[in-house]
Structure 1
Amino acid sequence: MFWYFVKLLVLLPMIGGMAFGALWLWRKYQPGMMQAGQANRAVKVVDAVPLGNYGKLAVVEFQGKTLLLSVTRGRIERIAESDNRGF
């Protein structure tokens, strides 16, 4: 019974740390969240919203224009376009 508690006291913080680390890595490398690396790129992803299992709505800046795109597995379509930040 003593060894059970020793294993519990060792493994429980280790599993909690692994879960915390996995969530931290997921948040750090999640697509659409890496805004800091986009400062000098031609195409900037401003925001992306998931729609169901396979689709997304994405707001993208390119050559001074803001585009609203529908992104699915096999297709990307422009929904709206604007010269400024607002639609």
Structure 2
Amino acid sequence: MGWYLLKLAILLPLIAGMIWGSLKLAKKLQAQVGAGGEGRQRTIKVVETMMLSPGQRLAVIEYNGRDILVASSKAGFTWLAECAAQSRTQAKTKARSEAQFLADLDEDSFPQ
């Protein structure tokens, strides 16, 4: 019994370390292969995704200075809309100002 516990105490951390190391290596290699190597800029970027249901998702893809809205499902991708790409800070500022306008409108329109 003692021999079994000794082997377990040695091999279990060894196997856990090998799993951790292989995951780190896979992550590093995936980043290098996905970008096409060091220093290369990506031409396609997934800006945002939103899950609609377990099999359906909306995605905004930035390509060549354009934002493309697509729906993806098990059957494939469907192009929905396209517009000029805005900088993310401009889009966030615009969304905040619209939200503030709606909040102000709500407070002014319905006195309590």
1:1-87 counterparts in 2 under 5 A?
A: 1-21=1-21, 23-24=23-24, 27-28=27-28, 29=30, 34=31, 37=35, 39-49=40-50, 51-52=53-54, 54-85=55-86, 86=91
Taking structure 1 as the reference length, the TM-score comes to 0.59
Partners of 2:66 and 2:13 in 1: CA distance: 49
Taking structure 2 as the reference length, the TM-score comes to 0.50
Partners of 1:49 and 1:7 in 2: CA distance: 47
Please give the secondary structure, in 1, of the residue aligned with 2:14. Answer: helix
**Structure of greater Rg:** 2
Partners of 1:9 and 1:48 in 2: CA distance: 44
Amino acid at match of 1:12: L
Amino acid at match of 1:5: L
**Structure 2 unpaired stretches of 5+:** 96-112
What number of residue pairs does the alignment pair up?
Answer: 82
Q: Percent identity?
A: 34
**Structure 1 unpaired stretches of 5+:** none
CA deviations on 1:33-84 (whole Å, 9 max, x unpaired) are x5971753443333445552x4333221122111121112222112332212
Partners of 1:27 and 1:49 in 2: CA distance: 24
Amino acid at match of 1:9: A
1:13 Cα shift? 0.6
Please give the secondary structure, in 1, of the residue aligned with 2:41. Answer: coil
Partners of 2:59 and 2:69 in 1: CA distance: 6
Greater helix content: 2
Change in Cα spacing, 1:27 to 1:55, as seen in structure 2 (3 Å) is farther
Higher relative contact order by CA 8 Å / sep ≥ 6: 1 or 2? 1
